[in-house]
Structures are given as structure tokens and as C-alpha cells.
Chain A
Amino acid sequence: MIRIAAVGDVHLGEDMRGGLRPALDKVGEHADVLLLAGDLTRHGTVAEAAVVADEFADLAVPVVAVLGNHDHQDDKPLQVTKTLQDKGIHVLEGSTFVAEINGCTLGVAGVKGFGGGFAGKCGSAFGEREMKAFIQHTCDIAACLEQALSELDTDIKVALTHYAPVPDTLRGEPPEIYPFLGSYLLGEAIDATGTHLAVHGHAHFGTEQGMTPGGVRVRNVAQPIIRSAYAVYVMEAAAA
């Protein structure tokens, strides 16, 4: 059994320092690992990343994160990443985290993800340079996610993104903005790789529960949705 805590969209800044810490200090009582689904900062500054790094440092469980769009706002994603890594946070972008917990192996593959829309209602890499770049960015990220997930050989495989892989967990958001909230290409990567759970954030007005076309559970853990410091999901390795 593995207990997975997860939260996204905490949007920390100096004005929030220490705000999550009372709940985080007890995360070991609730969970075995903590996933952060992006938008950890407000403006993506290194100063805000330092607040995030301090907030999630020295917890009782490993912390695994992806960045979100807010974490790119200051155009310093590499410095933000390093600031988090320096405090022991595992930051994924096309990469994986593996741990053995309670005799069960857990693998997490993470990417920021991007928009583009969902099957039948999505953009194409065609036309203006800007449109091609927009969709190609999603294609590239989805390919990275699929590669990282396919490299995992663990009892439980989790996909961690900021953007949504399915429209289910966007219910409550205006349908017109779905193309800015996620992409079916992420869901396709999840379904192609024997993944057991997909966790994302980004959609503050969405809903927590969803499922990919291939039957993989999806959870939107944006903090305004889960309304706590983190949500906890209990999983077990599938019977051989």
C-alpha cells in the first residue's frame, strides 16, 4: 500500500511563507510521498521559489514536483528548478522519480504539459508560426511524458503534470478555455504506458475526479478544488 499526497497551484510568495507548514509537518502521518502539480509560485521568480523550497524542505516524505505556467512567468524555470532541487525537492520535466515504499515500488513521471485542447476540439500544428509553435510545444512535451512513463518498471506508475490530460476534471471551467487548460496528447501518453494514476492541477474551477479514455483515474489536485494542504490517494500494486 502506498499513500500518495498531492497538491497543485499553491502559488506561494513571501506573503504565504509558513502558511502550509502546519499541515506539511504532519504529512508523514497521512502519506508516504508528496506530489506537487505545478504553479508553486505566483510570478515564477527565484525569490518565490526560495519560499516554496523552504516550505517543502525537510518533510517526512519525499517531495516530487513539476512546474506550472506561473513558474515560467519570470522566464527563469531553470533557476526555479535549481532552487527547489537545492532543498531536496525532486523536480521532473520529462524525467522520473522512483522509490520503494512499504515493499511496493512507485514510479512518477512528470512534465509541465501544455494546452491544445481535447480530441475533436483541438488545435493543429498548421498555419502561422505561432500556432505551429503552440501545438508543437504540446506534442514535444507529450512525447517526453510517454518516453518517461514507458521507462518506468514499477508496481505503481503515476503521471504528474500541471496541465490536464482529460476534459473530465475541467468540468466547471468554461468549455471555451479548455484548449488553454490541457491536451488529449497527455492522456494518450498516459493510456499508452500502463499508467495507474494521473495527477494534475491548473484548473481552479474544475473538479477533482476524472478518467482517461483508457480507464486511468485522473485527479485534479488544484488547491481550490481539494480545499486542503494536500489530498491523499491510497493505492496498491495490481495483482500479478
Chain B
Amino acid sequence: MESEQYLAANLRRTVAEDPRTAELGVRIVVRGDHAMVSGDVACEDRRRALEEVLHEVAPELTILNDVRVTPAGEPDGEEDLR
């Protein structure tokens, strides 16, 4: 059985290098038969794509998709650096 550490490292490289995801800014933790993915992506489609790619390369794992979509609204105030 592949160790959880190697598996998590390989999954993380996959979502960085697979052009369908190209996400370097997510975390993946594997424990037993669960993989938790967290972090932020730009839109809902990319959140789903992460889950699809992870399921494709590790179908034996249950994916807990805790990834959030980054808000892109107007800023709430400003920082005064004067």
C-alpha cells in the first residue's frame, strides 16, 4: 500500500501539473481512505475540476472538498498607510 505521505504528495503534484486544474495553491491531506483538499480557487468550475481529477487518479479515496471560491467583489474599505 502506498504510504499516505507519498500519496498526498503525488496528488498535490497531479493537481498542480494537470492542465485541467493547474492549482498550486491547494492543500491535500490523506488519512486512511479519505483525502481532504482545501484552499481557494477562482470559480466554482475549478472547485469541481479539482474533485474530478483527484477522483480520477485515486478512485479508492473519498474526497472531502473543502476548497472555497475566492470572493471577487469590491473591497470593504482601504488601508491608510500615511
Contact = CB atoms under 8 A, between A and B. Distances in A.
Contacts of B41: 11
A204 B39 contact: yes
B52 interface: no
Contacts of B76: 228
A16 B42 CA distance: 8
B40 A228 contact: no
A59 interface: no
A23 B72 contact: yes
B1 interface: no
A9 B25 contact: yes
Name B's interface SS.
Answer: loop
A239 B40 CA distance: 41
Interface in A211-240: 217, 222-224, 226-236
Contacts of B82: 1, 234-236
A16 B43 contact: yes
Name A's interface SS.
Answer: mixed
Interface in B20-52: 22, 24-25, 27, 39-43, 45-46
Contact of B74 (A30, A73, A223): A30
Range of interface residues on chain B?
20 to 34
A170 interface: no
Contact of A228 (B22, B24, B71): B71
A11 B41 CA distance: 9
Nearest to A174: B27
Interface residues of A, number: 37
Contact of A229 (B22, B27, B45, B75): B75
A205 B25 contact: yes
A15 interface: yes
A228 to B, nearest CB: 4
A197 interface: yes
A227 B73 CA distance: 8
Given A15-B45, A205-B39, A224-B40, A231 B19 contact: no
Interface string A1-14: 10101000111100
B60 interface: no
B79 A234 contact: yes
A12 B22 contact: no
Contacts of B5: none
9 A-B pairs closest in CB distance: A204-B25, A224-B40, A232-B78, A228-B75, A236-B82, A23-B74, A234-B80, A42-B22, A229-B72
Given A22-B73, A233-B78, 5 more contacts: A204-B25, A224-B70, A232-B78, A232-B79, A233-B81
Interface of A: 1, 3, 5, 9-12, 15-16, 19-20, 22-23, 26, 30, 42-43, 70, 73, 197, 204-205, 217, 222-224, 226-236
